[in-house]
Amino acid sequence: MIHLSRLGYLLGLEGVALLRGFREGADREFVEARIGEIRALLDDPALAEADGVTAEPGAISSGDVYRTWASHYDTPGNQMIDSEQPVVRRVLDGLPVGVALDAACGTGRHTAYLAGLGHQVIGVDGSPEMLAQAKTRLPGAHLSQARTRLPGVRLSQADVNRLPLPDDAVDTVVCALALVHVPDLGAVLAEFARVLRPGGHLVISDPHLLSGYLQPRTLRTGPDGLPALLADHYRPLSDYLAAALPLGFQVRHCEEPRRPPLRLHPATPPPNPPPPHGSWDIMHWCPEAAFAALSGIPIVVIWHFQLANDE
């Protein structure tokens, strides 16, 4: 069981803001403001009374969460997508056209882009709700000016650990913001290597480890009605290399886009905050500290690997 405390989280943001300030040259006014806010947070009765919740880790699945996220997952303003998508598409623009697999395709945003580039695309996802969004998106996919028609796109509900494809079936695999939900990274990369042709390309994006430490956890009500946490697996960069290199993948590019500056507006905390198993979006209680702690840190990591060609 994990105990989550709103007060503890806010104090943590203040501490990270101070540590970054010491490293990056904060002035005395900034430091004193953070210390003053810490004292105010400790004295705030709304935070002191019945603060926190004990939640069971892993009691809800990514499928449970995406069931509610699907309809608004990639609406404008999702900072992770806004940071990841331009980099991934820049990589895809430089790859040869062929057969592409969008593994954990979600709402089909990269599926549609690959199709617009001329690829024959297979989109695979485990969430029927996300696939429903993908089916809605694909008829209106933007086409490259060099193309006059949308190539074939096939969508399939399946797990990334068991792809419904034969060996050496595709030229490119894209997997965006999904491996954080996978406990065994090596097994999934081995499955990608299986379906890729020699010389094929693997493009991965994933939430960054630093972002995982500083963002609030995904908290929901579990099947038993008790608070529950989504199981997530934020990884250091070395984990991707340790899993990929023994499979014959070679690094072609790695990039860590940074979180844009937060734009939070202070709000007076209500005298009786909502239950802690409700909204966990509480950064507006100390917006200056949140801005200093989170702005400019790496938010995602993008890898471009190429499978060795034995010929």
CA distance 271 to 45: 8
Dihedral sign, CA of 242, 2, 47, 44? negative
CA distance 300 to 23: 22
Count Cβ atoms below 10 Å from residue 233 Cβ, excluding itself. Answer: 15
Beta bridge partners of residue 2, listed in sequence order: 55
Assign 174 to helix, strand or coil: strand
What's the token pair of residue 302? 């993008």
Beta bridge partners of residue 249, listed in sequence order: 307
Own/partner contacts of 217-221, CB < 8 Å, gap of 24 or more, are: 217/2, 217/4, 217/55, 217/280, 218/65, 219/4, 219/53, 219/55, 219/276, 219/277, 219/280, 220/60, 220/64, 220/65, 221/277
Report the amino acid identity of residue 282.
I
Domains of the chain listed by start with CATH number: 77-215+233-260+298-307 (3.40.50.150)
Mean pLDDT (the chain, rounded):
86
Side-chain half-sphere exposure of 203, counting CA atoms within 13 A: 25
Q: What is the pLDDT of residue 60?
A: 77
pLDDT at 250 over 90: yes
pLDDT at 96 over 60: yes
Dihedral sign, CA of 173, 176, 182, 184? positive
CA distance 32 to 17: 12
Q: What is the pTM of this model?
A: 0.88
**Phi, psi dihedral angles at 22 (to 5 degrees):** -65, -35
CA distance 92 to 85: 10
Give the orientation angle of helix 6-24 with respect to helix 287-294, to 10 degrees. Answer: 60
CA distance 234 to 222: 22
pLDDT at 148 over 50: no
Taken as a whole, the chain contains a residue count of 311
120, 152 Cβ separation under 8 angstroms: yes
247, 189 Cβ separation under 8 angstroms: yes
Query: At 274, is the pLDDT very low, low, confident or very high (cuts 50, 70, 90)?
Result: very low
Q: What is the DSSP letter of 278?
A: S
What Cα–Cα distance (Å) separates residue 223 from each residue in 56, 64, 78, 92, 179? 11, 10, 27, 40, 24
Dihedral sign, CA of 73, 78, 84, 88? positive
What Cα–Cα distance (Å) separates residue 166 from each residue in 163, 195, 212, 261? 8, 6, 35, 44
CA distance 203 to 207: 14
Q: What is the pLDDT of residue 178?
A: 96
pLDDT at 169 over 60: yes
Range among 74-78, 124-128, 221-225 with highest mean pLDDT value: 124-128
Least confidently predicted of 6-10, 112-116, 154-158, 259-263:
259-263
